[in-house]
Structures are given as structure tokens and as C-alpha cells.
Amino acid sequence: MRNIHFYPSHADMESVVNDFFGQVFSNAKTISKYPLTDVYIKDGLAYLEIAVAGFSKNEINITISNDSLRITGSKSDELVDAGREYVKKDIAKRNFDVSYSLMFQVDHIDAEIVDGILKIVVVPVIEKTEIKQIEIK
């Protein structure tokens, strides 16, 4: 399992996302490079794009629990390789388990598979700050 930590900021959402991505890769401990993943920000949202060619949406699970985003893919080799005698086999269809620690509240997560890429959009909760006038005594 791969863990990548998001780091919070108490500034606006753009700053939270920028802080997160500025820290995430220097502190990441990667055990496996599978599946290949791109993580980026755009318009204040966090995006993950994961190469999942050969997996159907029913073979991928995305869960969020205790501030952790977990993405797993499970494929049965028995069904994939049934009746096949390979001369060469380069296409990886192995199981994966990737976890991201979220240090901010998530409003919601959208996910879809397009052309073999699992596209996940993490929409953080944007806390509205109230400006208060302080009386000087």
C-alpha cells in the first residue's frame, strides 16, 4: 500500500491545495509505482488520474474513512487468463491498493473511468471565515 499525506493550511482553498502538493511528493514513501498516478491541482480542486486499463468500474473500490482516501483494484487472474497460452505477457493486470491521508475535510469526491484512466476529483470543504471588528479598550 502506498501512502501520500496531504498537509493542511489555514488560508484559502487555493493555498491549502498548493501547500498540499508542495509537500506531498517530498514526504511520500512509495513502495510500488503501480498503478501509474498523476496528482495535480486545477481551479482549487485536487485531481488524481490513475492508469487502470483492463479494470472495469466494478473491479475498483474507492472509499473514504477517517480522513483517508483508499483506492483498490482487484482482478482475478483465473478469469483473465482462462484458456490463454501466452507467448508474451507485458500488460499488468495486478491488484493494487493506494491510500492517501487527507488532512482537510472533504465535501465530496467524484470519480469516473475514461479511456482506461480513473479520474478522481477531491472537492474540499471551504470554511468561510468571519471578519470581526475588535474594539480597542
Domain boundaries, the chain: 2-79+88-124
**Per-residue pLDDT, 133:** 78
Q: Which residues of 88-109 are buried (b: 16+ CB within 10 A; e: fewer)?
A: eeeeebeebebebebebeeeeb
User: Can you say whether the dihedral through the CA atoms of 53, 55, 58, 62 is positive or negative?
Assistant: negative
Is residue 79 classed as helix, strand or coil in its secondary structure?
A: helix
**2-79+88-124: in CATH 2.60.40.790:** yes
**Per-residue pLDDT, 126:** 75
The pTM assigned to this predicted structure is 0.66
pLDDT per residue, tens digit, the chain (137 aa), is 544 445 433 334 445 555 555 444 333 444 457 889 998 888 878 899 999 988 999 999 999 987 788 999 998 765 556 778 888 877 767 889 988 887 777 888 999 999 999 999 998 887 766 777 778 88
**Per-residue pLDDT, 28:** 41
